[in-house]
Amino acid sequence: MFQRIGPAAFKKDLTNTLAISEHLGQPQHRFPSIHIAGTNGKGSTAHMLSAIFTAAGFKTGLYTSPHYRDFRERIKINGELIPKRFVVDFVKEHKDFAEQLKPSFFEWTVGLAFDYFAKQKVEIAIIETGLGGRLDSTNVITPLLSIITNISFDHQNMLGDTLPLIAGEKAGIIKPGVPVVVGETHPETASVFIEKAKQEGSPIVFADQHFEAKPTKKEVAHIVYDVLMDGSLRYKQLALNHLGDYQRQNLCTILQAMEILPPLVARRIQAEQMEAAIRTGLRDLKQLSNFMGRWEFISESPRVLCDSAHNEDGIKKAMDGLAKIPYETLHFVFGTVNDKSPDKVLSMLPKEATYYFAKADIPRGFDAMQLLEAAKPHGLYGKAYTSVRRALAAAKRTAKPNDLVFVGGSIFVVAEVI
């Protein structure tokens, strides 16, 4: 399982996935889908789209990774986790085949998801890639729309060590004639997507060239936006059930997607109904899609904020958001994985915080004492703890009423406390 042990579990090949699809009767061709890749924001984008289609009355499948507490979070229909019984029966029924093929955890999970969505006759499935795109196990679908949220550095040892190389892997989800939305225009990667779309005869649009989301107010559980399209007001007072400022770009990406999708779903829903579904889906995002772990307050006394950002771009956006929150003292519970240097991320963390370093409870977890030592050259000081829970408990004991406790650095750190 890649999430636990890292690159050793990654299979850069579609052979097993194609064999699984053949064995299961090509379930991926029995439901319409939207395919999402990108370095950051693809999980949020997937959940937003899922909530919108659920609000529109569609039976909506959602496949994401990794999970926080329960494996079944990866596979949902209208926000409901796949039943335990379906998972057990699937494994029993196909056990002999799996033992012969020896697929990876991710390959087998993709087969399970596609089989479930096909048998449940979902009307649309939102499919998030796991890693990369071109050789990702999900890349056996032919979607209605491809979405690439953004490109930044992550998993360079598997996807390439330059942004154009990483973009080339993500661009692998672009299919012949299938429209593609790219969330962010980047000077180093835009030409990669344009060229790939041209090769495949696929219409391409960059969301940030047309959409701009302007926050107008922050409520207890929502940020309210006025959204401009090509300079004119397109959505007035659009409430998003998420307090992360960085979601602005993802919001623009999904709204651009919805501009392209109506002709593809017009048989089911009219344009005015779609706007109502967009408003309802975004307003009730967490309830409709079971969205968790991103910029989530899990305690008010003291205030404890969790976020799953883990790479350079994600951490930068999270730290920008953190700088906008008032607090007296910042207590930072931090952990990461050991298959990449932590220096880039450590250099971006606030120096005035008190740090509580912890090892996530997975084989890939970075040793807390080593992390403490790695942090010192960056002017970050604190203590090391034997577990994330103990680190958080120490932070909460120390925090005063006007302080803030932030938990982050890895999805696996967040998973232990939400």
At residue 270, the 3 state secondary structure works out as coil
170 neighbors 42 (Cβ within 8 angstroms): no
Contact criterion met (CB below 8 Å) for 317 and 343 = no
From-to residues of CATH 3.40.1190.10 in the chain: 2-289
d(CA 356, CA 185): 36
Strand pairing category for 124-128 and 60-63:
parallel
Pick the CATH number of 2-289 from 2.40.50.140, 3.40.50.2300, 3.40.1190.10, 1.20.120.640: 3.40.1190.10
Residues of the chain with CATH 3.90.190.20: 296-415
Phi first, then psi, for residue 315 (nearest 5°) are -65, -40
Gap between the Cα atoms of 400 and 78, Å rounded? 40
Q: Determine how many CB atoms are found less than 10 A away from the CB of residue 11.
A: 16
Specify whether the CB–CB gap between 278 and 52 falls below 8 A.
Answer: yes
Residue 260 tokens read as: 């392209």
The reported pLDDT for the residue numbered 264 is 59
Among residues 363, 324, 157, the alpha carbon closest in space to that of 246 is found at 324
> pLDDT per residue over 52-84, tens digit each?
999 999 999 999 998 998 999 999 999 999 999
Q: Which of 20, 48, 14 is nearest to 255 (CA)?
A: 48
- DSSP H or E segment with residue 304: strand 303-306
Say yes or no: domain 296-415 is CATH 3.40.50.20. no
How many whole angstroms separate alpha carbon 154 and alpha carbon 180?
A: 22
At 370-413, the pLDDT tens digits run 999 999 999 999 999 999 999 999 999 999 999 999 999 988 89
* pLDDT one-digit tens code per residue, 180-213: 999 999 988 899 999 999 999 999 999 999 999 9
pLDDT tens for 115-169 read: 999 999 999 999 999 877 888 899 999 999 999 998 876 544 445 568 888 888 8
What was the pLDDT predicted at 155?
46
What is the model's pTM? 0.90
Residue 87, Cβ density class (10 Å: 0-12 exposed, 13-18 middle, ≥19 buried): middle
Q: What is the pLDDT of residues 280-338, one digit of tens each?
A: 999 999 999 999 988 899 988 899 999 988 788 889 889 998 998 999 999 999 999 88
